[in-house]
C-alpha cells in the first residue's frame, strides 16, 4: 500500500517538475487567452445598449443583465481552466496508434490512473502560474460581479469545478480510447470539440437556446464543463435544485469513469502491438 | 542576360502543386473543408441567436441582422483568402528557421518573402470563401439592395486591401521566430489581434473603447480590414458626404504602410538569420 502510494507520489512529482519547465510560456499564454474577453465585453455592451434603446420592457437576456453576461464569460474561463484537457484524447489515440500504449500494459502501472495524476499535476502547476493573471483580470473586472455569494453557493461552485475537471478528464479519455477501434480519431475529436465549444456554454449561456434544441442541450453532460459552474456562482440555481444538479453531475462523472474502464479493458483485449 | 522569374507563373505552379497534393489526400481535403465550414456555420448560429434577442448591435449604429451578416460575409471572404494563401506558410516559417531549411529558400533565384509566403496554398479554406459569397448574396437580397457600379469595383479592391493588411501583420509576427528561436513565435498573437476586427468598429466606444478603436485603426489597422469594405455595401453606413471617404482613403494608406512595414521587418529578420544546420 505504502509502496503504491510512493509510486503515485513520484508520478505526481515528476509531472509537476516537467510542467514547471514551461512556466513563462504558460503565464503569457494565460494572459493572452483573456484577450477575446475584451471583444466579448464590447460586443455585449453594444447588444445591451441596442436592447435598451429599443425600449424593450425587460432589459435582460434570459435573465442575464449586461453585468451578469460579462461575469458569466469570466466565470466560464475559470470552469474551462478546470474542465479543458488539451491533448488528452489525441495523445491517447496517438499512443495507441504508434504502440507507446504498450508501456502501460507491461509495466505495473494503471494507464488511466497515471494519466489522471499527470493531468492533476498539469492543472496544479497551471493554477499556480495562472493565479496571478486570473486574479488581475478578475480584480479589474470586479465591477461586473454583485459581490461574493453565500458560503453554500461557494462550496457548490468549488464542487462543480472539481467535478468539471473529473468529467472533462473521463469523457475525453473515453473518446481517446475509442482509438483502440478506429486508430485515427481526429474527425471524431473535431466533432466533440465543436459541440463542446458551442454547447458547453463556452460561447454563450446555454439558456439562450430556445425550443427543443435548448432542452436537448440541457440534457447532455457538456453543460457541466463550462456553463454549470458559472451558473452556480451567479445564483441561477439554488437550494434543492442546485443539490440535485450536483448529484446529476456526479452521476455523469461516475458514468464516464465506468465507461472509460470498460472501454479500456475491452480495447486492450483487442489491441495488437507489433514491432519493438 | 539576367532572367527575372515570372512571379505569376511561379505562383500558378505553387497553386497547382498544392492542389495536386490536396487531391492526393481527397478524403482529408473533404474533411477539412467540412470542418472549417461547420465552425463558420456554428458561429452564424450564434449570431442568429443574438439577433433573436436584440434588433441591432449597438444602438442606432445601423448594424441590424442582415447588415451585420454582410459584415460577417466580408470577414469570411477576407479570412478565407488569408487562410488559403498565407496561413500554412506563415505557420511553417518558424519551423524553417528552427531546422535551417530556410537556407534553401534563400538560395533560390526568387524573392524570399514571395517564396516563403505563398509556396503552399490551402485549397480547403476556399470552401469558406464560397460560403462567404453565398452569405453576402443572401444578406444583400434580404436587404433588397443591389450594389452600384462603384461598389462593385471598390468592394473587391478593399477586400484585397484587407487581405494585404492581415498578411502584413501575419508575416511580420511570424518573422519574429528568427529572433525568438525555437517554436516561440508571436504568430499566435495574430489570432488574438485580428479577433478585434471581428465586429463593427462602432462597438468600441467609451472610456476604454475609443482609445482601443483608435489604436486598432491607426497603429495596427486591423479595424479597417473588414469595416471599410462591409460599410460600402450597407445602406445607412455607406459613405455619403465627402468626409465619409476619409476612412476608405485611409485604408489605402494603411495597406501600403502595412505592406512596407512588414517587408522591412521580414528583411531585418533575414539579416539576423543564422542557419541552424551548417
**At residue B19, does pLDDT exceed 60?**
yes
Cα A120 to chain centroid, rounded: 13
Q: Rounded to a whole number, what is the distance in Å from the CA of B216 to chain A's nearest CA? A: 12
Which residues in chain B touch residue A43, judged by CB atoms under 8 angstroms apart? 57, 199, 203
Higher pLDDT, A8 or B122: B122
Cell numbers standing for residue A10:
513520484
Q: How far apart are CA B122 and CA B91, in angstroms?
A: 12
Cα B86 to chain centroid, rounded: 9
Going by C-beta distance under 8 Å and a sequence separation of 6 or more, which residues neighbour residue A99? A273, A274, A275
Q: How far apart are CA A78 and CA A71, in angstroms?
A: 11
**CA–CA distance from B143 to each of A186, B146, B236 (Å)?**
40, 9, 11
**At residue B1, does pLDDT exceed 60?**
no
Burial of B250 (0-12, 13-18, 19+ CB in 10 A): middle
Q: Are the C-beta atoms of B158 and B233 separated by less than 8 Å?
A: no
For residue B1, tell me if it sits in a domain: no
Q: Are the C-beta atoms of A174 and A253 separated by less than 8 Å?
A: no
Q: Do B195 and A203 touch (CB under 8 A)?
A: no
Using CB atoms, pick whichever of A43, A52, A194 lies closest to residue B38: A194
Instruction: DSSP letter for A208, please.
Output: G
Q: Do B49 and A190 touch (CB under 8 A)?
A: no
Virtual CA dihedral for B78, B81, B82, B86, nearest 10 degrees?
-170
Q: Are the C-beta atoms of A83 and A164 separated by less than 8 Å?
A: yes
Using CB atoms, pick whichever of A32, A38, A51 lies closest to residue B54: A51
Q: How far apart are CA B28 and CA B124, in angstroms?
A: 9
For residue B74, tell me if it sits in a domain: yes
Q: How far apart are CA B11 and CA B34, in angstroms?
A: 26
Higher pLDDT, B32 or B130: B130
Question: Nearest-CA neighbor of A18 among A119, A102, A153?
Answer: A119
Interface check for A45 against chain B (CB to CB < 8 A): the answer is yes
**At residue B215, does pLDDT exceed 80?**
yes
Interface check for B52 against chain A (CB to CB < 8 A): the answer is yes
Residue in the block written with cell 487562410: B83
For residue B208, tell me if it sits in a domain: yes
Candidates A22, A39, A54, partner chain B, best to mutate (most B CBs within 10 A): A39
Q: String of b and e for A8-24 (b: at least 16 CB within 10 Å)?
A: eeebeeebbeebeeeee
Q: How far apart are CA A124 and CA A30, in angstroms?
A: 14
Q: How far apart are CA B167 and CA B170, in angstroms?
A: 5
Q: Rounded to a whole number, what is the distance in Å from the CA of B166 to chain A's nearest CA? A: 18
Interface check for A87 against chain B (CB to CB < 8 A): the answer is no
| Most confident of the ranges A5-14, A31-40, B87-96, B239-248 | B87-96
Average pLDDT, chain B: 88
Question: Nearest-CA neighbor of A232 among A201, A257, A256?
Answer: A201
Interface check for A46 against chain B (CB to CB < 8 A): the answer is yes
For residue B209, tell me if it sits in a domain: yes
Question: Nearest-CA neighbor of A150 among A266, A235, A214?
Answer: A235
- Lowest-confidence range among A187-196, B35-44, B219-228, B234-243? B234-243
pTM for this model (two decimals): 0.87
Q: Please give the helix or strand (H or E) that residue A144 lies within, else none.
A: none
Number of domains into which chain B is organized:
1
Q: How far apart are CA A54 and CA B59, in angstroms?
A: 8
Q: Please give the helix or strand (H or E) that residue A250 lies within, else none.
A: helix A239-270
Interface check for A182 against chain B (CB to CB < 8 A): the answer is no
Domain of residue B199 covers 7-272
Q: How far apart are CA B228 and CA B145, in angstroms?
A: 18
Q: Measured at the alpha carbon of residue B226, what is the angle toward residues B151 and B209, in degrees to the nearest 5?
A: 130
Reading chain A (276 residues) residue by residue, the pLDDT tens digits are 777 788 878 877 887 777 676 666 666 677 777 788 888 889 999 999 888 877 766 678 888 889 999 999 999 999 999 999 988 999 999 888 888 888 888 888 888 999 999 899 888 888 887 888 888 889 988 999 988 899 999 999 999 999 999 999 999 999 999 988 887 788 888 889 988 988 999 889 998 888 888 888 888 999 999 999 999 999 988 889 999 999 999 999 999 999 999 999 999 888 877 655
Q: Rounded to a whole number, what is the distance in Å from the CA of A179 to chain B's nearest CA? A: 18
For residue B277, tell me if it sits in a domain: no
Using CB atoms, pick whichever of A49, A52, A203 lies closest to residue B46: A203
Per-residue confidence band for B171, with pLDDT thresholds at 50, 70 and 90: very high
Question: Nearest-CA neighbor of A271 among A181, A175, A174, A172?
Answer: A181
Q: In chain A, which among 112-151 make CB contacts under 8 A with chain B?
A: none
Interface check for B235 against chain A (CB to CB < 8 A): the answer is no
For residue B258, tell me if it sits in a domain: yes
**At residue B185, does pLDDT exceed 60?**
no
For residue B278, tell me if it sits in a domain: no
Percent of chain B past pLDDT 70, that is, above it, reads 94
Q: How far apart are CA A158 and CA B194, in angstroms?
A: 34
For residue B137, tell me if it sits in a domain: yes
**At residue B169, does pLDDT exceed 90?**
yes
Amino acid at each position: 500500500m505504502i509502496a503504491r502510494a510512493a509510486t503515485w507520489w513520484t508520478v505526481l512529482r515528476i509531472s509537476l517538475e516537467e510542467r514547471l519547465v514551461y512556466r513563462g510560456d504558460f503565464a503569457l499564454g494565460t494572459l493572452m487567452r483573456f484577450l477575446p474577453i475584451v471583444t466579448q465585453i464590447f460586443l455585449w455592451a453594444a447588444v445591451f445598449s441596442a436592447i435598451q434603446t429599443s425600449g424593450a420592457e425587460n432589459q435582460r437576456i434570459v435573465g442575464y443583465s449586461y453585468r451578469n453576461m460579462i461575469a458569466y464569460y469570466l466565470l466560464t474561463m475559470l470552469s474551462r481552466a478546470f474542465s479543458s484537457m488539451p491533448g488528452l484524447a489525441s495523445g491517447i489515440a496517438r499512443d495507441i496508434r504508434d504502440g507507446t500504449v504498450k508501456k502501460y500494459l507491461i509495466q505495473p502501472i494503471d494507464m488511466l490512473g497515471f494519466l489522471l495524476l499527470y493531468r492533476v499535476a498539469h492543472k496544479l502547476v497551471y493554477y499556480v502560474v495562472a493565479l496571478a493573471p486570473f486574479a488581475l483580470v478578475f480584480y479589474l473586472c470586479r465591477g461586473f460581479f454583485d459581490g461574493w455569494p453565500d458560503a453554500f453557493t461557494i462550496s457548490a461552485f468549488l464542487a462543480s469545478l472539481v467535478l468539471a475537471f473529473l468529467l472533462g478528464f473521463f469523457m475525453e479519455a473515453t473518446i481517446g480510447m475509442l482509438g483502440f477501434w478506429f486508430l485515427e480519431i481526429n474527425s471524431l475529436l473535431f466533432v466533440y470539440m465543436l459541440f463542446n465549444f458551442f454547447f458547453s456554454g463556452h460561447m454563450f449561456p446555454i439558456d439562450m437556446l430556445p425550443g427543443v434544441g435548448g432542452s436537448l442541450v440541457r440534457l447532455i453532460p457538456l453543460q457541466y464543463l463550462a456553463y454549470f459552474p458559472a451558473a452556480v456562482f451567479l445564483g441561477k440555481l439554488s437550494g434543492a435544485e442546485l443539490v440535485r444538479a450536483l448529484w446529476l453531475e456526479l452521476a455523469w462523472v461516475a458514468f464516464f469513469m465506468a465507461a472509460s474502464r470498460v472501454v479500456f479493458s475491452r480495447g486492450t483485449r483487442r489491441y495488437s502491438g507489433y514491432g519493438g | 542576360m539576367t532572367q527575372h522569374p515570372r512571379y505569376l507563373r511561379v505562383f500558378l505552379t505553387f497553386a497547382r502543386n498544392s492542389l495536386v497534393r490536396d487531391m492526393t489526400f481527397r478524403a482529408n481535403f473533404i474533411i477539412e473543408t467540412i470542418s472549417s465550414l461547420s465552425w463558420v456555420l456554428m458561429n452564424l448560429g450564434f449570431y442568429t441567436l443574438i439577433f433573436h434577442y436584440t434588433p441591432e448591435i449597438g444602438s442606432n449604429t445601423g448594424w441590424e441582422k442582415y447588415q451585420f451578416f454582410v459584415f460577417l460575409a466580408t470577414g469570411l471572404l477576407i479570412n478565407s483568402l488569408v487562410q488559403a494563401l498565407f496561413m500554412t506558410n506563415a505557420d511553417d516559417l518558424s519551423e524553417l528557421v528552427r531546422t535551417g531549411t530556410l537556407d534553401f529558400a534563400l538560395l533560390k533565384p526568387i524573392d524570399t518573402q514571395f517564396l516563403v509566403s505563398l509556396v503552399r496554398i490551402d485549397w480547403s479554406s476556399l470552401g469558406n470563401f464560397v460560403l462567404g459569397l453565398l452569405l453576402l448574396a443572401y444578406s444583400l437580397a434580404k436587404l433588397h439592395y443591389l450594389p452600384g457600379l462603384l461598389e462593385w469595383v471598390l468592394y473587391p479592391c478593399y477586400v484585397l486591401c484587407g487581405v494585404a493588411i492581415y498578411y502584413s501583420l501575419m508575416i511580420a509576427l511570424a518573422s519574429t521566430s528568427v529572433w525568438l528561436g525555437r517554436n516561440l513565435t508571436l504568430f499566435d498573437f495574430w489570432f488574438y489581434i485580428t479577433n478585434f476586427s471581428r465586429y463593427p468598429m462602432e462597438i468600441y466606444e467609451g472610456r476604454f473603447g475609443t482609445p482601443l478603436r483608435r489604436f486598432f485603426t491607426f497603429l495596427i489597422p486591423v479595424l479597417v480590414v473588414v469595416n471599410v469594405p462591409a460599410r460600402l455595401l450597407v445602406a445607412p453606413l455607406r459613405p455619403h458626404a465627402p468626409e465619409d471617404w476619409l476612412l476608405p482613403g485611409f485604408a489605402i494608406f494603411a495597406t501600403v504602410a502595412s505592406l512596407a512595414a512588414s517587408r522591412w521587418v521580414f528583411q531585418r529578420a533575414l539579416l539576423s538569420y543564422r542557419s541552424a544546420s551548417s
